[in-house]
Structure 1
Amino acid sequence: MTVATGNTALTGRTGKRLIVVVGAVLATVLVWAIGEPVLGHDLVVTGPGQPATDLGLSQIAFIAAASSLLGWAALAILERFTARALTVWTIAALLVLAVSFVPFLSVEATTGSKVVLALTHAVLAAVLIPGFVRTAAKIS
């Protein structure tokens, strides 16, 4: 009997990180789906001097995917150049999360909409950060 012990598409680091990205996007979309269609919080935001923007499913999914892929790219680049990649990336990810809440101070939206949007940020980080930490290169 032969047992395959290769690095298959979804068990290698790239595959695991892809699963983390998909999970983060799906979790964010789930928050949107509960917040807007189910609870009825229309995610319309108005920035200073800007027209009102209705954040729908496609915008939420795109922003979550783009943020996740940028995080992945940043971690991969750091892993090539520093032994402390995971520490640097985790601190940077937490700072980006904190800064992502700043626009809530200047945009106009209902309280419910702001809560749903804040939850999308938090859920994305809650999946992405520990997920990427688990896939990071281990230093022996």
Structure 2
Amino acid sequence: MLVVAGAVLATVLVWVIGEPLLGHDLVVVSPGQPAMDLGLAEIAFVALASSLLGWAALAILERVTTRALTIWTIAALVVLAVSFLPFAGVETSGGSKVVLALTHIAVAAVLIPGLRRSAG
């Protein structure tokens, strides 16, 4: 649970530095959708949900295969890579895209090594 909390905290720190301190307004516009302001609650919720899903996936894999850690790590890296695809289809400033990308990296940077250490 500490790893999940750490991943959420890292993401919140990126948001705090990026939006209030540096002034990158995290408002994204997807084609055919209304503008969405990604505030602290939204950022923290997505970080928490994705961290819990990652933790659950590792726990399930550990019950069904002896190669759980390898499979989970590869899957986590693939999910991280795929998480950047929506950036191509949204309209927002370059700085905002960087802050959003860093939130994805922050979750992965804490979650992947943290859960790998606690696995098994």
Are 2:43 and 1:89 aligned? no
Give the corresponding residue for 1:3.
none
Percent same amino acid among aligned pairs?
Answer: 76
Q: CA deviation at 1:130?
A: 0.1
Q: CA deviation at 1:36?
A: 0.2
What's the CA shift string for 1:66-85, capped at 9, x where partnerless? 00000000000000000000
Are 2:100 and 1:122 aligned? no
Summarize the alignment of residues 60-139 of structure 1 with structure 2, pairs less than 5 Å apart. 60-137=43-120
- Runs of 4+ displaced beyond 4 Å: none
Q: CA deviation at 1:41?
A: 0.2
| Bigger proportion of residues as helix | 2
What's the CA shift string for 1:68-120, capped at 9, x where partnerless? 00000000000000000000000000000000000000000000000000000
- State the superposition RMSD in angstroms: 0.3
Are 2:16 and 1:33 aligned? yes
Distance in 2 separating the partners of 1:75 and 1:26: 21
TM-score (norm 1): 0.85
Structure 1 unaligned residues grouped into runs of 5+ = 1-17
TM-score (norm 2): 0.99
Greater C-alpha Rg: 1
Q: CA deviation at 1:64?
A: 0.1
Structure 2 unaligned residues grouped into runs of 5+ = none
Distance in 1 separating the partners of 2:73 and 2:30: 30
SS of 2:104's equivalent in the other structure is: helix
